[in-house]
Structure 1
Amino acid sequence: MPQHPEPALLLKIKPSQQLRALVLLIHALALGASLANDLSLVFKSILIIGTCLQGWITLKHLKNNQLTIKYTDTIGWQISKDHDLVAIEILNSTVVTPFAIFLHYKKSCLLSIKTTQEKHSHLILNDALSDEDFRSLIVKLKITHIK
């Protein structure tokens, strides 16, 4: 019986609202601690400004964090942060839970003379994909790479 190739898995991961809410909560708690401490007004102001600035930069980064993951039987795993897909190798340290995927991968980069392997990680929460896509990603990861 001829074996039919499986269709390619192509997932566009959107920014997670759960992660955004967690970042807001953590920064609100840090602001509360900055206000409650017994430092002088100058140091309190520096802590408050620093916390607000860091929170704003983090939220801006989360808002612009678009990711595309693709898997085909012939090429394997690919990832794209912009528009160009780059081949990656999923590492065994990747962790899969019902709520989140801690994706660890190596990306090959060609420098002028030698090829380097850059290790990266990406947090994919379950609200960043539809329920069906999140399950498909978990199944494909377990089938192809996670031991």
Structure 2
Amino acid sequence: MNTVQHTSLSDVLMKTEEIVSMLKSSEEMKRYRQAEDKINRHGDAQALLFVVKAKRNQYSQLSLRHGFDHPAVIKVKQEYDDVLEHIAQIPLIDELQTAQEDLNDVIQGILHTLVSSVNNMLPVEKGDEPGDGASGGCGSCSSGGCGRH
């Protein structure tokens, strides 16, 4: 006799927690946390990261208000680029960025696998372009699963 076993939402959520736990204990997460700790102990790197965020925000706000060709926007953009160039000289920053990219790749791989598996199992209404259907595209994914990103 064939019996179909149904999985409850709570079972799915428990499996999700298992995946999160595995991700937290992964080598990629370990490298990311170690790099983050090093940055947190490096005063110059922390200060530069703060300046980068401030300059990026200032550049965004000014460019929205005045356009990209305004002298104030050009000046802030140059200052932002200068800080980025200075940061690039700090090996710890590169280590953190590499660790962050590696961790992001793992997360994107998980998301891509999940989305692909679900899309292969379910009928999906699609429009002319990915994302046009009621459930046929992405909700701003960056995993590559939607065909647009």
TM-score normalised over the length of structure 1: 0.25
Task: Looking at secondary structure, tell me which structure has more helix per residue.
Answer: 2
TM-score normalised over the length of structure 2: 0.25
Name the structure, 1 or 2, with higher relative contact order (CA <8 Å, separation 6+): 1
